[in-house]
């Protein structure tokens, strides 16, 4: 495979900083908006987007974000039974007054607090002859910060896109 098949580009789309990871050999592109919850919002394969994205563009999404694309669900995914969660033997209380807590139809906290955070910053976007990747980091001083919250996220584009999260050290 040619080293030029994979690319990682930083670009502004609709005035929003984005990252595009691409594999020219397989005609695949993954687009991520780090400043809008570090969300992957477009996964084009052969020119067709396979992600649910009900917006005309990423600018409209940034102005009124809601769950779509591939959201960053941290520090928990799915629902909690109360306004707290446990990690590594410690209970973390959630502060609904911060305005970053989403609730389901039963008023249960759902899908973490980092999903629409503007505190994500791109650390790197690179490609080599086997893959393309981007790494973003969440602000260490954010009010959503806890010792066990995911503070970094990385997406790779290989023969299949992969995303991973981890704690910053």
Question: pLDDT, tens digit, for every residue of 112-143?
Answer: 888 888 888 898 999 998 889 998 888 754 44
Q: Which two tokens stand for residue 35?
A: 């400043």
State the pTM of this model.
0.78
Q: Specify whether the CB–CB gap between 83 and 110 falls below 8 A.
A: no
CATH of 6-77+112-166, one of 2.70.98.10, 2.60.120.620, 3.30.450.20, 3.30.365.10: 2.70.98.10
Q: What is the pLDDT of residue 130?
A: 87
- State the average pLDDT for the chain: 83
Domain boundaries, the chain: 6-77+112-166
Q: What is the pLDDT of residue 168?
A: 40
**Cα(28)–Cα(31) distance, integer angstroms:** 10
């Amino acid at each position: 495979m040619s080293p030029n098949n994979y690319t990682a580009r930083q670009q502004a789309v609709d005035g929003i900083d984005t990252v595009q990871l691409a594999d020219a050999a397989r005609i695949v592109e993954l687009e991520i908006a780090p400043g809008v919850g570090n969300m992957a919002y477009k996964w084009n394969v052969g020119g067709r987007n396979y992600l649910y994205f009900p917006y005309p563009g990423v600018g409209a999404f940034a102005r009124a974000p809601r769950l779509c694309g591939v959201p960053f669900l941290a520090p928990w995914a799915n629902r909690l039974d109360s306004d707290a969660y446990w990690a590594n033997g410690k209970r973390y209380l959630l502060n609904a007054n911060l305005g970053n807590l989403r609730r389901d139809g039963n008023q249960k906290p759902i899908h973490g607090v980092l999903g629409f955070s503007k505190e994500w910053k791109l650390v790197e976007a690179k490609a080599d002859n086997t893959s393309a990747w981007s790494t973003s980091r969440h602000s260490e001083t954010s009010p959503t910060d806890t010792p066990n919250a995911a503070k970094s996220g990385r997406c790779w584009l290989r023969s299949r896109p992969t995303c991973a999260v981890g704690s910053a050290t």
